[in-house]
Structure 1
Amino acid sequence: MQTNLADFIKDTPEGHEAEAILRKCVHCGFCTATCPTYQLLGDELDGPRGRIYLIKEVLEGRPATEKTRLHLDRCLTCRSCETTCPSGVEYGRLADIGRHVVEQQVPRTGADRLKRIALREFVPRSGLFGTAMGVGRLLRPLLPRALAEQVPHSSQAGRWPVRRHARKMIVLAGCVQPAMRPSINAATARVLDLLGISLVEQPAAGCCGALKFHLQDQEGGRDDARRNIDAWWPGIAAGEVEAIVVTASGCGVQVKDYGHLLKGDPDYAAKAARVAALSRDVAEVVLAEAPALQAILATKVAGRPTRKIAFHAPCSLQHGLKIRGVVEGLLTAAGFELVPVRDMHLCCGSAGTYSLLQPALSRQLRDNKLAALQEGRGERIASANIGCIEHLCTTAVIPVQHWIELIDEKITESP
């Protein structure tokens, strides 16, 4: 794609990156076939190719409008288009650049502005979010149905093993997961403990930064990354930390991108690159220990009835982290039968804060995804991202859990 970027951006780092991405696009349109919003709305401007044109026009100097912003707002940033693209167009990064420019040209006002400010200032504060979630659970019977659906029932973490192994990994607690599903990290700690790895949380760490970054507080998102790096760095510098484990695939995409986000910061660039290199989705960690896990499972699987599971691969796992087939293989090895799920590549509609900012589209995508997940008559749905899990839980007729919780159940049940 030919480009002629405007003076305000062409000689900036963002301009150089955007131009390189735009020049890869060959207008083929393969991306539209796998775009969830294009499938729902049938509008070229609500597909990747159309949005690329919109961003290109803005970067070349055409003023953005509220209509430009609307089409970019409707994008889930699921990155399914990246998986489909034969030219390797990094649409997600281009969208970040384009949205930032559009926000500057067309500032938000009124309720829309206030809602986004509230989300980026409230949700990343895990203590405040946890308190609010507790109050919400008490008032759940009195809340309107649409709001009550966003308040999950409480879940117990269970036992967290004491540190006893020479091998040590740090796990990201995150911002919403400790209040919504503390059981996920605790289950991960128990599984890794049996595999000879001690898992610890660093209290000074917090939100991965994705929420602020994608709500156009990009510097706030970078500050969250810097805080996490500071919390993790002493153990990394001392050679005590083998990996940074992330159990929410959406957060994992952000942490793996720290090196890119902070490459222009002379104080953090090298540290950020190191943290990104150490970042592992929990599936990657467990896969590396597969022989030991299989030895443990051998006594648990034989002679036991097979349970049917439907696996929902979050977009952040399959398109962002590009981890495909790994979780499915681990669940199969643990004695679960995975039922077929159609349209596995399509988003469930959670997409961070998308379910709150674009509720109508989000509900359509959720309902379509649940229909696909539940038609195979599995006993449970497994996923790999807290946002997807809670989004699907709102109307699912069968339980939805993180896949590591199923592995934990399997290896801790009596022989």
Structure 2
Amino acid sequence: MKTSIDVKYLDHPDVAEADAILRSCVHCGFCTATCPTYQELGDERDGPRGRIYLIKQLLEGGDVSQKSQTHLDRCLTCRSCETTCPSGVRYGRLADIGRGIMERQLPRTPGQRLLRWLLRRVLPYSSRLRPLLVLGRMARPLLPTALAAKVPLAQPARRWPASRHSRVMLALAGCAQAAATPNTNAVAARVLGRLGIGLVPAPEAGCCGAVSYHLSAHEEGLDFMRRNIDAWWPHIQAGAEAIVISASGCGAMVKEYGDRLAGDPAYADKARRVSALARDLSEVLANEDLGRLQPAGKGRKTAVHCPCTLQHALGLSGRVEAILRKAGVELTPVQDGHLCCGSAGTYSLLQPELSQRLLSNKLAALTAGNPEQIVTANIGCQLHLASRAPVPVRHWIELLDPEP
């Protein structure tokens, strides 16, 4: 694709990268076949190719409007198009750059600005989100049915084992997961402990930065990244083997720390090291002897939901399924596994109608095989699916828990 970037954008630090991505697109349209929003809406501007043209138009100084912003807002950034693209177009990165520039150029309505500000002020902070969840649970009987379904049930606290192993890995506590499903990492620690690996939390590390970064508050997102690097660095210097991330959305972001902070001389080298050490939980388990686990409570028919971040951003499609089959879990078939469930970080709150349509499609696919439970690898997907699923929704690591 030929481009002619407007002179007013030439000094922008990310525009050269965006230009290179635009030039790699060959207009083939293969991406539209796997784009969830294009399949739902049938509008070229609600597919990757159309959105690429909208970003190109923006960077070339053409007229952009609120309609253009709406079409970019409707993008899930699921990156299914990247898996399909024969030219290797890095669409997710282009979308982040384009949205960031458009956010500064086109003012949003006061209501939109307030909602996005509230999301950035609450979701990345488990200490703020946790009491709100408590209040939501107390008020659940008074809430409308649809809203009450979004409030996750409380989890009884589970034991986090002490680390007495020579092999040590770090855990990312995260934000929403730490508040809504805090036992996920505790279970991961017990499972890894059975395999001779100590999983150590770094209390100062929190949100990976994805919430702010994907809401176009890029500098705010980078600050979260720097904070996590600072929290992990002493452990890395002490010999930590990996940074284990049990939420695939966070894993996708941490894997990009090296790229996002490449221009920061104080953090560039550290960020590259952190990204190199980042491992999705499934990557760790895939290389271990699962015969040592002897998990209990695994005999129920299970449907696996593979989050977009796991299969498209991290390229780990089928990894969880392979681990669970190896552990003896009976899996039911799932059609159209590449399509997004509609959670997509804050998408379910910002685009509720479209998100619910995608959720209906996903639940129909997941329950077609009559599973007794659904498992997934990302906290946002877990909560979104659980809001309407007819069967329990859990993190897949719970099936391997030696102490159910």
Q: Partner residue of 2:111?
A: 111
Q: Aligned residues, how many?
A: 404
Task: Kindly provide the CA deviation profile for residues 103-151 of structure 1, in whole angstroms up to 9, marking residues without a partner as x.
Answer: 1110112211100000011111110111111111111111122321221
Is the 8 Å Cα contact of residues 32 and 81 (structure 2) preserved in structure 1? yes
Counterpart among 291, 296, 300 of residue 294 in structure 1: 291
**Superposition map of 1:238-317 within 5 A:** 238-239=238-239, 241-289=240-288, 292-297=289-294, 306-317=299-310
When residues 377 and 100 of structure 1 are mapped into structure 2, their CA distance, relative to the original with a 3 A threshold, is: same
Structure 2 residue identity aligned to 1:63: D
2:43 corresponds to 1:43:
yes
Counterpart among 387, 399, 403 of residue 406 in structure 1: 399
Rounded Cα–Cα distance in structure 2 between residues aligned with 1:275 and 1:82: 24
Rounded Cα–Cα distance in structure 1 between residues aligned with 2:299 and 2:168: 33
Rounded Cα–Cα distance in structure 1 between residues aligned with 2:98 and 2:265: 25
Q: Partner residue of 1:169?
A: 169
Task: Kindly provide the CA deviation profile for residues 289-339 of structure 1, in whole angstroms up to 9, marking residues without a partner as x.
Answer: 1xx212444xx69xx994311000000000010101111011001111111
Please give the root-mean-square deviation of Cα atoms over the aligned residues, in Å. 1.3
**Superposition map of 1:328-367 within 5 A:** 328-367=321-360
Rounded Cα–Cα distance in structure 2 between residues aligned with 1:95 and 1:27: 16
Cα offset, 1:15, TM superposition: 1.6
Task: Provide structure 2 residue ranges, at least 5 long, that are not aligned to the other structure.
Answer: none
Rounded Cα–Cα distance in structure 1 between residues aligned with 2:234 and 2:200: 14
Rounded Cα–Cα distance in structure 1 between residues aligned with 2:157 and 2:3: 52
Structure 2 residue identity aligned to 1:335: G
When residues 305 and 129 of structure 1 are mapped into structure 2, their CA distance, relative to the original with a 3 A threshold, is: closer
Is the 8 Å Cα contact of residues 307 and 335 (structure 1) preserved in structure 2? no
Rounded Cα–Cα distance in structure 2 between residues aligned with 1:217 and 1:13: 15
Q: Partner residue of 1:149?
A: 149
Structure 2 residue identity aligned to 1:21: I
Secondary structure at 1:307's aligned position in 2? coil
Structure 1 residue identity aligned to 2:138: L
Structure 2 residue identity aligned to 1:128: R
Q: Partner residue of 1:78?
A: 78
Is the 8 Å Cα contact of residues 137 and 153 (structure 1) preserved in structure 2? yes
Q: Partner residue of 1:383?
A: 376
Task: Kindly provide the CA deviation profile for residues 50-109 of structure 1, in whole angstroms up to 9, marking residues without a partner as x.
Answer: 000000000011132101100000000000000000000000000011101111110112
Task: Kindly provide the CA deviation profile for residues 246-279 of structure 1, in whole angstroms up to 9, marking residues without a partner as x.
Answer: 0000000000000011000000000000001000
Structure 1 residue identity aligned to 2:262: K
Structure 2 residue identity aligned to 1:223: D
Task: Provide structure 1 residue ranges, at least 5 long, that are not aligned to the other structure.
Answer: none
Cα offset, 1:11, TM superposition: 4.7
When residues 320 and 157 of structure 1 are mapped into structure 2, their CA distance, relative to the original with a 3 A threshold, is: farther
Is the 8 Å Cα contact of residues 194 and 292 (structure 2) preserved in structure 1? no
TM-score by length of 1: 0.95
Rounded Cα–Cα distance in structure 2 between residues aligned with 1:295 and 1:250: 29
Percent identity of equivalent pairs:
60
**Superposition map of 1:87-236 within 5 A:** 87-236=87-236
Task: Kindly provide the CA deviation profile for residues 13-58 of structure 1, in whole angstroms up to 9, marking residues without a partner as x.
Answer: 4121111111111100000000000000000000000000000000
TM-score by length of 2: 0.98
When residues 132 and 305 of structure 1 are mapped into structure 2, their CA distance, relative to the original with a 3 A threshold, is: closer
Q: Partner residue of 1:326?
A: 319
Rounded Cα–Cα distance in structure 2 between residues aligned with 1:138 and 1:356: 21
When residues 293 and 4 of structure 1 are mapped into structure 2, their CA distance, relative to the original with a 3 A threshold, is: same
Is the 8 Å Cα contact of residues 82 and 90 (structure 2) preserved in structure 1? yes
Secondary structure at 1:245's aligned position in 2? strand
Secondary structure at 1:154's aligned position in 2? coil
Rounded Cα–Cα distance in structure 1 between residues aligned with 2:298 and 2:359: 30
Is the 8 Å Cα contact of residues 177 and 386 (structure 1) preserved in structure 2? yes
2:386 corresponds to 1:393:
yes
Task: Kindly provide the CA deviation profile for residues 173-216 of structure 1, in whole angstroms up to 9, marking residues without a partner as x.
Answer: 01111221111101100000000011111111110000001111
Rounded Cα–Cα distance in structure 1 between residues aligned with 2:4 and 2:100: 19
Q: Partner residue of 2:365?
A: 372
Structure 1 residue identity aligned to 2:37: T
Is the 8 Å Cα contact of residues 208 and 251 (structure 1) preserved in structure 2? yes
Task: Kindly provide the CA deviation profile for residues 338-366 of structure 1, in whole angstroms up to 9, marking residues without a partner as x.
Answer: 11101000000000000000000000000
Rounded Cα–Cα distance in structure 2 between residues aligned with 1:327 and 1:22: 33
Secondary structure at 1:288's aligned position in 2? coil
When residues 335 and 317 of structure 1 are mapped into structure 2, their CA distance, relative to the original with a 3 A threshold, is: same
Secondary structure at 2:170's aligned position in 1? strand
When residues 306 and 316 of structure 1 are mapped into structure 2, their CA distance, relative to the original with a 3 A threshold, is: same
Q: Partner residue of 1:66?
A: 66
Rounded Cα–Cα distance in structure 2 between residues aligned with 1:295 and 1:206: 31
Task: Kindly provide the CA deviation profile for residues 152-174 of structure 1, in whole angstroms up to 9, marking residues without a partner as x.
Answer: 11012411111111111110001
**Superposition map of 1:9-24 within 5 A:** 9-24=9-24
